[in-house]
Structures are given as structure tokens and as C-alpha cells.
Amino acid sequence: MRKNIAVAVSVAAIAGVLSLSGCGANDGGAKGASGTQGQGTQASSSESNGKDIFSLASNANAIAPDDLAAIADEDVEKTVASLNEQYEALIAECGSFDAYQANVDKVQAYYDTVLAETNALGIRLREYAANCASYVLASDRTSGQMYDDLEVIYDDLYDSAGDDLYDAVYDDLFGNLYDAFYDGVVKDGYDSMGYGEWSEISSAAYDMYSDAMSDAYDLISDCRSDIYDFGSDVRGDVFGDKLDKAKKELSKFQEDIEKLKEE
């Protein structure tokens, strides 16, 4: 009887040990599987985030929203100052009707310069908008914060710099050109020759002025319109939590800018 009990106890003990060993093996296997899956999930998430993050380093010209106004204003001021300086030099050469006739090619060349510089400035203002959006979209701020940050594209570029450019070039500079030439030295030459000949010179002076002024208006208007549309589209995408769409808008805008440079 005692022998049977001893055997039974031994069997039970052995079964218990085996049971404990089995549990230990299962626990170890579960931890190992769990650990492996956890690391795999974390790595996958990290890779996904790495692909989704729009790297600030991808655009070395990125502009912080707080810096946008100063950069744009300085560019507008320097461009306008250069045009005004060239204007003063031209006026000094064309101080009379005879001098105007002798230098009419220089007058036309100056109009061409005004248009070329206005166009180039408009392209740079568009680039500032793209570079600011690049900075904001690369940040880790919330959609609401990005939406607020991007408002500077409207405030500092479309509104402020755009108004300054319009006032300085379309209003002031072309107003001065009208007064100096068509309504100035050309008008003064009315009595210096026959009416028919003078009328042709006067009409040519007006056409030269009017055509350039109209082209300048279109350049400034197109620039402001492009900036307004871009800023509005990107802000709308960000507000709707469509960051990928906002990045596509940015890429398309950058492509459009490059096309403008090639024209």
C-alpha cells in the first residue's frame, strides 16, 4: 500500500514538474513572439512616419513665417529703388524735346527694363510663397497651427508686398513717366515742327507708355493672383487635414514657377 502511494506521489510530482516546465516554455515563447511583433510594428511605424514627414532639409531656401515680410519687403524696395535710379538717369538725358528724340531708343529700353524687373520680382515673390509653405508643411505643428502660419502668404505677399509693388511701379513710376515724356518734353515740342510730324512722335510716345503700363499691370496682377490662389488652396488642404494634397499643391506651384523662368 505504501509502495503504491509512493509511486502515485512520484508520478504526481513528475507531472507537476513537467507541467511547470511546459508553462515556462510557453511563457517564454509568448514573450518572444510578443517582443518580435512589437519590434516589427514599431519599425514599420517608424518607416511609415519617415516616408510621410516632409523633410525641411529638402528645401534649403525654406522661409519661416516670421521672416517672410522682411524678405519680401526688402526685395520690393531694392527693385523699386533700382528702377527709380535708372529713371532719374534717363530723365537727365532726355531733358528736352530734342534730347528725347535723340534718345527715344533708350526710353524704349527703359520700359523693357521695367517690365523685365517687374516680371523677375513677381517670380521671386511666388518663390517666397512656395518656400514659406515648404517650411510650414515640414513642421510638426497641428493642422490648425499650420493653417494660421500660412496666413502670412496672403498678408505679407499678396496684400502687403503686392500693394507696394502696384503702388510703386504701376501708379508712381508710370505716373512719373507719363509726366516726364508724353505730357512733358514731347508736349513741349508742339511748336518746334509741323503738327503732323509732331503728332506722330506724340502718338508713338503715348503708345510706348500705354503698352508698357498695360503689360506691367498684367504682370503684377498675375503674380498676386497666383500667390492668392496658391495660399488659399494650401490653407484649405491643411484645414481639411489633407497634408499630402497640400504637398502636391506645393510641388505643382514650384513646377509652374520653373516654367515662368523659362519663358
Is 80 exceeded by the pLDDT of residue 170?
yes
Assign 28 a pLDDT band (cuts: 50, 70, 90).
very low
Name the residue with higher pLDDT: 262 or 49: 262
Instruction: Provide the mean pLDDT of the chain.
Output: 84
Residue 170 C-beta-side C-alpha neighbours within 13 Å: 15
pLDDT digits (tens, 9 = 90+) for 218-249: 999 999 999 999 999 999 999 999 999 999 99
pLDDT at 6: 37
At 170, the amino acid letter reads: Y
- Residues in CB range of 70: below 8 A, 6 or more apart: none
Assign 5 a pLDDT band (cuts: 50, 70, 90).
very low
Q: What distance lies between CA 237 and its chain's CA centroid?
A: 16
- Residues in CB range of 77: below 8 A, 6 or more apart: 164
Using CA atoms, how far apart are residues 143 and 101, in angstroms rounded to an integer? 61
- DSSP assignment, residue 241? T
pLDDT at 60: 83
Instruction: Report domain extents, the chain.
Output: 1-52, 56-262
Q: Give mean pLDDT, residues 122-134.
A: 98
Is 50 exceeded by the pLDDT of residue 24?
no
Assign 58 a pLDDT band (cuts: 50, 70, 90).
low
Name the residue with higher pLDDT: 22 or 159: 159
Is 80 exceeded by the pLDDT of residue 161?
yes
Query: Grid coordinates representing 201?
Result: 512722335
Using CA atoms, how far apart are residues 122 and 105, in angstroms rounded to an integer? 26
Handedness of CA 46, 51, 55, 58 (dihedral sign): positive
pLDDT at 246: 97
pLDDT digits (tens, 9 = 90+) for 65-88: 999 999 999 999 999 999 999 999
pTM to 2 decimal places: 0.78
Using CA atoms, how far apart are residues 145 and 245, in angstroms rounded to an integer? 17
Q: What φ, ψ does residue 138 adopt, rounded to 5°?
A: -85, -10
Query: Grid coordinates representing 59?
Result: 528645401
